[in-house]
Amino acid sequence: MPASFIPQRIKRAKQQITVKLYQDQLAMLDSYGRFIDDSRDYIISQALELVFKRDKEFARWVEQQRNANNNAERMVSRTDSAGLAPQPGPQREERDKRHRAETAGEMQRESA
């Protein structure tokens, strides 16, 4: 039996969320849904699976978080002290820098 490009759905529990998309992205999402004859939910879920699978830096970061959490759990069980907080992602610092620069640019425009 030949395998299809898009795998058959596996029934799993779902949790509803709300997202905001740009109009052009929503139009493309709906077009893609008509193209493959499936729902927005399924397309978004599959797109996320694809990103999670292919982003090697993210996979390394997840593994580091698992190792840090395992080490923290071992330390807590030995010393009964509080565990370590997870580290923010490597992209956060860059995002924060861009946000500060954008905010500074807006403030300069308003004062001019």
pLDDT digits (tens, 9 = 90+) for 16-62: 999 999 999 999 999 999 999 999 999 999 999 999 999 999 999 99
Across the range 54-82, mean pLDDT stands at: 82
* Rounded distance between C-alpha atoms, residue 49 and residue 99, angstroms: 28
pLDDT value of position 33: 95
Phi, psi of 73 (to 5 degrees): -65, -40
State the pTM of this model: 0.56
3-state secondary structure of 40: helix
Cα angle for residues 33, 35, 38 (degrees, 5° grid): 35
